[in-house]
Amino acid sequence: MTYFNKVLIANRGEIARRIMRTCKKLGIQTVAVYSDADQEAPFVKEASEAVHIGPSQAKKSYLQVDKVLQAAKETNADAIHPGYGFLSENEGFARRCTEEGITFIGPTPEVISLMGSKIEARKQMEKAGVPVVPGWSGNIETVEEALRIADELTYPLMLKASAGGGGIGMELVRNAEELEKVFSSTKQKADSFFGDGTVFLEKWIENPRHIEVQVACDEHGNAVHLFERECSIQRRNQKIVEESPSPFLDEKVRKDLCETAVRGVCNINYTNVGTMEFIFDEHQNYYFLEMNTRLQVEHPVTEEITGLDLVELQLKIASGEKLGLTQKDIQKSGHSIEVRLYAEDPNTFFPSPGTIQKLDVPTDGVRLDFAVEEGSTVSPFYDPMIGKIIAFDVNRNAVIEKMDNALRGLKVEGITTNLELLEDIVIDEDFKNGNFTTKFVENRAAKQKA
């Protein structure tokens, strides 16, 4: 069964290689696109064909809609997989693909646009009966209006850019003075960063956990969830360790959360795979945060516990086929953890590009989704993530032990990586006990300093 003849991957690094693996398995030809800096990268060599699309800077290559579409046309690709980041949540790109007669592997441009606006997403989810963070879902124009709304909601609050994401465009305000101080600059920043100065207010949740639900929906009205992922271990609002299932949820809350997520996506007629992100407070109350309308970096932990190939599901759905799975066909077993290896300092998180002189990878039954090989150059132009180590075992304790062994067997020379931090996290008592929030890395560093 081949869903497409040839798929162009509008991305690079580990995710391009990951998508190619599934295409190869299904007998689908692949086209890689690459910039100057990626000429020698493994993903370029592994594709059936490769097209150079421009200079190293992403905005001159990977973000160039016209160049990517031209490459697809030249190579007769019938579909484009956007991966994550870059053009993956770009409504205009999805629309252009459709106009050019090329299938965009993802949801419709309308849905991408709807979920790209945090205010709109909140409104849609409220309508579907999905709990959202208490707050104000309207555009706040003036500081006077903000102060009045804030008084009603009561402090502390988060002032957020509607078009924001990835931890950018948010300000914590604890009182009226702080709100007054940051209101216009946040609005202005939102405008220059995201081209949209719309801001809104949400209650600030102290010590939250970040838990998300993987969903998959076809064009025929079938929608399922593939359980949750626990993603609370973060640095600078970006995830570094993810797992499934979450050690924080009991079966009752899990069922409720996952069914709520499915209700939310059905309400917007979502298609393809996607992720509903929630935050949990200390009392297991959960609130919708945002939706990622694409494949996630951490999707492998879901694949490990369900035995399903998410990229294959994406291709299948995009080709117009039925999901072919009902909720009860999707079972989970065991436990899976993923860690992200970054080319950066383990303490300051400062990036460390360079050439990988030596790369010894563990071989004892872990999955390695890597962007690089020994001898690869990690260029300064893109995300510092160079690979993911994914472990699976019968239960959480067993998988932690397996990950610990795998990390001890990993050696990277030539660049600085966060390996030491990852090693420390998996043997941390609080981590082992499942006792952590999104502040885990920050608090740990503070404790060490004291």
Partner 1 sequence: MAEKTPVVSPIPGVFYRRESPDKDVYVNEGDEVKEGDVIGLVEVMKNFHEVTSTESGVVVSFSVENEAIIEAGQKVAIIETK
Q: Site residues (CB under 8 A) for partner 1?
A: 56-57, 192, 343-344, 350-351, 353, 380-384
Closest approach of Cβ 380 to partner 1, in Å? 4
Closest approach of Cβ 13 to partner 1, in Å? 12
In the DSSP assignment, the letter for residue 225 is E
Residue 130 or 372: the one with the smaller Cβ distance to partner 1 is 372
Measured CA to CA, the distance from residue 173 to residue 196 in angstroms comes to 21
SS3 268: coil
Residue 36 or 145: the one with the smaller Cβ distance to partner 1 is 36
Strand partners, 369: 388
Closest approach of Cβ 384 to partner 1, in Å? 4
Q: What is the DSSP string of 234-251?
A: EETTEEEEEEES-TT--H
In the DSSP assignment, the letter for residue 434 is T
Sign of the dihedral through C-alpha 216, 310, 238, 12: negative
Residue 56 or 405: the one with the smaller Cβ distance to partner 1 is 56
Residue 279 or 415: the one with the smaller Cβ distance to partner 1 is 415
Closest approach of Cβ 164 to partner 1, in Å? 15
Query: What distances in angstroms separate CA 211 from CA 96, 343, 375, one per listed residue?
Result: 33, 26, 37
* Active site members: 294
Measured CA to CA, the distance from residue 395 to residue 446 in angstroms comes to 31
Closest approach of Cβ 61 to partner 1, in Å? 13
Residue 245 or 414: the one with the smaller Cβ distance to partner 1 is 414
Closest approach of Cβ 163 to partner 1, in Å? 16
Radius of gyration in angstroms for the set of CA atoms belonging to the chain, rounded to a whole number: 22
Residue 56 or 269: the one with the smaller Cβ distance to partner 1 is 56
Query: Which phi and psi (to 5°) does residue 7 adopt?
Result: -115, 130
3-state secondary structure 289-350: EEEECCCCCCHHHHHHHHCCCHHHHHHHHHCCCCCCCCHHHCCCCCEEEEEEEECECCCCCC
